[in-house]
Amino acid sequence: MFHLNKLNDFQYEIPLAGNMKVPGILYINEKILSQFSDDGPLKQVMNVATLPGIVKASMAMPDIHLGYGFPIGGVAAFDYDDGVVSPGGVGYDINCGVSLIATDLDYDEYRWSVNRILDELYKTVPAGIDNKSSFRINCEDENEILSSGLEWAFRHGYATDEDIIHTEEGGHMISNISAVSEKAMKRGKNELGTLGAGNHFLEIDRIDRIFDRKTAEKFGSGRENKLAIMIHTGSRGLGHQVATDYLTRLNEYDGSVKIPEDRQLISAHISSKPGEDYINAMNAAANFGFVNRQIITYKIREAFEKIIGMDFESIGINTVYSLAHNMAKVETYSIDGIKRKLLVHRKGATRAQPAGSTTGYFQETGHPVIIPGHMGGPSYVLVGLKGNEETTFSSSCHGAGRILSRKVATERFTVDGVKDDMRSRGIYLRATTGKAVVEESPGSYKNIDDVIAVIQGAGIASPVVSLMPVAVMKG
């Protein structure tokens, strides 16, 4: 491992070296530092620091691990006029993100319903790779989804006006669908309302602890022991195709930015035609991702209605928040006292705007920051802390972060062993494959409490509520 400067208990600096234009800043503690099995992710932080127009620092959140080009858990902002956009800085799963949905149902009273609801969702939400949706949309619908996001879902009765208020950007990014290939459109056609595979999941939780009651109430998650639902998925094959298309296009484009350190970091100037087209296509894929989570939310409402026998309004099934953790977004921050328009890449990182830095419903508190843990343990909802605009462009981590590679996890754990473990924790598990069970085993992930301690200690965000899983569905 190369030299790191310890700045404080929660921040380590990778000093300037080689072609780095800014230092690397790692938001980690000593324990997380000691858990790195190799320096691959840190090299990726250094490589990102060499890209044109990067400002302040190439950053990594405590859930950092190896990704395509950029590390997962990476945050990097580029000057909008002089900087670049990099598909690897968003990742293959554009607008991969989380929705948290609250209910008024008390866990003790409705314990009987949990497994039945999950079984119903297992039938209605296709999971795993290449699992087609029964949810049909025509070309006109798909065009509208990619250009208007949740506005389409609202017009067609799949979203409430409250859902839109409780979604990042109102579930609508400005896009241009002409930048999206026919192939991507074709893949998206029968993928709406599907979960996907890997670390994607749908789980029923109970609200466990409340750390900040006033904020929790504002979020609609202020009561202990109520059932809640978490969805983790993104833009599926459509977004994956957009990423593939633009990586190919940038490789064929003379004006693209290629750095000797890593060809996966291929980028385009934001103002270039391919750069502009990628942003338009990424935003279109993001709209698809928002609608995908919304259609699953709709199916969750249907499942609860069927099993509980009441309409979803009476059950109080409301979106707490739906957020993206794989996105590049145009935002303005003050750098050395000067306000600058930036393109903030967050790859496996969550926006965490504190009180006063956002408008609308969450203006007084800041918006919810949803951090899922592994399938056997707690997840957290945080809220951004004032001052994080100055440190991380108001960004937080996105999960516990893997500690073992999928390969190592497969060697170390057995399907039956993990199933027994989940049973002993009192959690009902349904997965499409044994592979998903072992790869997503609790032992494959960092302790989320270490990750949250860093986020809080570094002044990025603080806990509002925690949730414990009671039934989990894995793709």
Of 96 and 105, the one with the shorter C-beta distance to DNA is 96
Of 195 and 207, the one with the shorter C-beta distance to DNA is 195
Of 86 and 358, the one with the shorter C-beta distance to DNA is 86
> Does residue 241 touch DNA according to CB under 7 A?
yes
State in angstroms the smallest separation of the CB of 291 from DNA.
Answer: 15
Alpha carbon distance 22, 28 (integer Å): 19
Between residue 120 and residue 179, which ones bind DNA under the rule CB under 7 A?
129-130
Between residue 111 and residue 130, which ones bind DNA under the rule CB under 7 A?
129-130
Picking from 432, 173, 463, 137, the residue whose alpha carbon sits closest to that of residue 326 is 173
Contact 381, 368 (CB under 8 A): yes
Alpha carbon distance 211, 377 (integer Å): 17
State in angstroms the smallest separation of the CB of 435 from DNA.
Answer: 8
Report the half-sphere exposure of 102 (CA within 13 A, side-chain side). 27
Alpha carbon distance 346, 353 (integer Å): 13
Alpha carbon distance 192, 185 (integer Å): 12
Q: Give the count of beta carbons closer than 10 Å to the beta carbon of residue 96.
A: 28
Contact letters (x/-) for DNA, 446-475, by CB under 7 A? -----------------------------x
- The helix (H) or strand (E) run that includes residue 461 is strand 461-474
Stretch that binds DNA, among 90-98, 106-114, 154-162, 311-319 (CB under 7 A): 90-98
State in angstroms the smallest separation of the CB of 201 from DNA.
Answer: 9
> Does residue 234 touch DNA according to CB under 7 A?
yes
Of 233 and 447, the one with the shorter C-beta distance to DNA is 233
Of 59 and 197, the one with the shorter C-beta distance to DNA is 197
Those residues whose C-beta lies under 8 Å from the C-beta of residue 157, and which sit 6 or more positions away, are none
Alpha carbon distance 426, 79 (integer Å): 49
Of 6 and 132, the one with the shorter C-beta distance to DNA is 132
State in angstroms the smallest separation of the CB of 439 from DNA.
Answer: 8
Picking from 446, 455, 439, the residue whose alpha carbon sits closest to that of residue 36 is 446
Residue 191 CA from chain centroid, whole number: 19
State in angstroms the smallest separation of the CB of 326 from DNA.
Answer: 9
Query: Is 200 a catalytic site residue?
Result: no
Identify residue 3 by its one-letter amino acid code: H
Longest dimension (CA), the chain: 64
Contact letters (x/-) for DNA, 13-52, by CB under 7 A? ----------------------------------------
State in angstroms the smallest separation of the CB of 236 from DNA.
Answer: 5
Alpha carbon distance 411, 414 (integer Å): 8
State in angstroms the smallest separation of the CB of 428 from DNA.
Answer: 20
**Which of 96, 192, 204, 295 is in the footprint of DNA by CB under 7 A?**
96
Picking from 41, 67, 84, the residue whose alpha carbon sits closest to that of residue 258 is 84
Alpha carbon distance 373, 307 (integer Å): 27
Of 105 and 286, the one with the shorter C-beta distance to DNA is 286
**Which of 56, 172, 236, 269 is in the footprint of DNA by CB under 7 A?**
236
State in angstroms the smallest separation of the CB of 218 from DNA.
Answer: 31
Contact 180, 285 (CB under 8 A): yes
Between residue 180 and residue 209, which ones bind DNA under the rule CB under 7 A?
183, 186-187, 191, 196-200
Of 130 and 313, the one with the shorter C-beta distance to DNA is 130
> Does residue 377 touch DNA according to CB under 7 A?
no
Of 191 and 205, the one with the shorter C-beta distance to DNA is 191
Stretch that binds DNA, among 89-97, 217-225, 312-320, 331-339 (CB under 7 A): 89-97
SS3 154: helix
Alpha carbon distance 456, 379 (integer Å): 15
SS3 45: helix
**Which of 240, 249, 293, 325 is in the footprint of DNA by CB under 7 A?**
240
Sign of CA dihedral 258, 175, 293, 59: positive
Alpha carbon distance 352, 366 (integer Å): 7
State in angstroms the smallest separation of the CB of 325 from DNA.
Answer: 11
Picking from 185, 181, 182, 327, the residue whose alpha carbon sits closest to that of residue 246 is 181
Picking from 474, 467, 390, 391, the residue whose alpha carbon sits closest to that of residue 439 is 474
Report the half-sphere exposure of 64 (CA within 13 A, side-chain side). 31
> Does residue 92 touch DNA according to CB under 7 A?
yes
Q: How many residues bind DNA (CB under 7 A)?
A: 22
Catalytic residue chosen out of the listed positions 172, 200, 374, 398: 398
> Does residue 263 touch DNA according to CB under 7 A?
no
**Binding footprint of DNA on the chain (CB under 7 A):** 68, 92-93, 96, 129-130, 183, 186-187, 191, 196-200, 233-234, 236-237, 240-241, 475
Q: Which residues are catalytically annotated?
A: 398
